[in-house]
Each structure stands twice: as C-alpha cells, then as structure tokens.
C-alpha cells in the first residue's frame, strides 16, 4: 500500500493490471485521484511497477493476487478490497489471455484454458463484485471485450468465442442488477500493442478497415474507461473505442 497520508474518497479494482491496458487504466484512475486496487496473477514484479506508477501519477493503492479461474480466489480478493477505505465503487474486469490456433488445430486443453480465464473468470469476477455494489447503493463494472467477439478472428477461435460470450454475460448482468443501480458495460479497446497481440497486430500501414486509418491510443482507451465508469445512466452497452464498424 502507498500514500495513506492523503484522503481518497473513491476506489477502483482493476483485474489484469500488471501491464498493458490494465496498467493504463490504473494510471488513468490515479490521475483523477482514485484509490486503485492493482490485481495480478503471477507477475508480482510487474504489478509492483504499476502501483509505483500509480503513486507517481498522484494516486494510491494496493496489490491483490488472485487466479480468476478460481471462484474462491476471486471472492477473497474482492472481500479484501472491500475491507479497504474507501470501498470500491468501480470494478474493471480486464484480465484475460490470448490463444492462437486455427479451428481445426485447436486442442481441447487450450480451448478450455482460454474460456476458463476469459469467460468463466469474468463470470467469477462479476458474481463476486456485484454484492458489495448492491449493498452500497450501486456502482459500475466495466468489462474489457474485443472486436473479435463480434466478428471472429482467423486463428483465434477460442479467444473470439470467449469474448463473444462476454457480450451476453454483460447484457444479462446489466438487466439483472439495474434495479440495484449497478451499471455493467462492455468496452472494446481496439488493437493495442501488448503481449496478447504480439505477432498478430496489423502492420503500421494496414488499417484500411479503420475509418481513421489508425488504432486508438492506449491512453484514450483508459480515459474512456474512467469516463464510462462514472456515467450514472448508462448500462448494458457496448463502447467501441476505435473507428471500425461493429
């Protein structure tokens, strides 16, 4: 934990925050003065780097370790975050993995691993995150999806299927928890240079399917997450952060 000398009135917990998009989201919340819960699974060193950058950006926070594939691990993480002051009013479900195999070469073990992390893991997160939000009069959950969930992606059968499942999961959660003022939305971050996109990200001159001819910046995506999380009258929606059509 860091910077307890300063009073923070709002808190967020971000899963998959040890790098990439998750780290950028943490920094965006820190920049507007939030307490940031930084989740990681295995890479504690990278998560510690995220937390250090959160402090440098003007925020504070703490680390949480959990395997989102395991229900009890997620439950313990969320309960620990809710023992902090302030209690999180926003949760960001960003943790996920890739998996590059053509459909006819996709083995069942890899398939199950991707779905267990990206889809079932998010299911565990939503089920753990909703009760404290409902108990405190509402809040926001932002789930990070993918364009592949709408249109598929050659060589990414398991990944695309897992992200497609998030669409129905988010819509259902929004309908079920709306009466308790819990907003649940899906955000598509577009192409980002991360470990997940190594070797598959389009070349710099191959953005013809983007109206603007370029991918979105990571910082703009992160700022959009912060904005969406604070909207009180928006739920069950899909926010596309690049210039492709859905």
3-state secondary structure of 11: strand
Q: Taking Cα atoms as reference points, which of 81, 88, 75, 76 lies closest to residue 62?
A: 81
Is 41 a residue of the active site? no
Instruction: Identify the DSSP state of 66.
Output: -
Q: How far is CA 58 from CA 5, 82, 181, 185, 222, in A?
A: 12, 22, 29, 27, 16
Q: How far is CA 136 from CA 87, 132, 139, 224, in A?
A: 9, 6, 8, 24
User: Strand 35-40 vs strand 60-65: parallel, antiparallel, or unpaired?
Assistant: parallel
Q: Which of 40, 41, 64, 159 is catalytic?
A: 159
Query: Could you identify the residue written with the tokens 């604070």?
Result: 230
Q: How far is CA 217 from CA 43, 221, 229, in A?
A: 24, 6, 19
CB 169 within 8 A of CB 93: no
What region does 230 belong to: left with phi over 0, alpha with psi -120 to 50, or beta?
alpha
Alpha carbons 207 and 91: distance in angstroms, whole number: 32
Tokens of 101: 């195999």
Instruction: Cite the active site residues.
Output: 159
């Amino acid at each position: 934990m860091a910077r307890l000398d300063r009073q923070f009135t709002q808190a967020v917990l971000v899963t998959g925050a040890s790098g990439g998009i998750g780290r950028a989201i943490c920094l965006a919340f820190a920049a507007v003065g939030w307490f940031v819960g930084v989740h990681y699974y295995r890479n504690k060193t990278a998560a510690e780097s995220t937390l250090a950058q959160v402090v440098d950006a003007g925020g504070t926070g703490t680390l949480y370790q959990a395997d989102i594939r395991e229900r009890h691990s997620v439950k313990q993480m969320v309960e620990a975050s809710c023992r902090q002051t302030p209690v999180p009013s926003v949760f960001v479900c960003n943790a996920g993995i890739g998996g590059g195999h053509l459909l006819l070469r996709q083995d069942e073990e890899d398939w199950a691993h991707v779905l267990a992390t990206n889809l079932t893991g998010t299911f565990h997160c939503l089920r753990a995150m909703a009760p404290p939000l409902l108990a405190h009069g509402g809040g926001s959950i932002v789930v990070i999806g993918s364009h592949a969930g709408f249109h598929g992606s050659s060589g990414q059968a398991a990944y695309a299927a897992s992200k497609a499942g998030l669409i129905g999961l988010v819509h259902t959660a929004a309908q079920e928890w709306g009466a308790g003022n819990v907003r649940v939305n899906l955000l598509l971050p577009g192409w980002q240079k991360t470990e997940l996109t190594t070797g598959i990200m389009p070349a710099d001159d191959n953005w013809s399917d983007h109206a603007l001819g370029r991918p979105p910046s990571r910082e703009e995506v992160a700022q959009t997450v912060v904005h969406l999380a604070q909207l009180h009258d928006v739920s069950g929606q899909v926010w596309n952060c690049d210039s492709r059509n859905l």
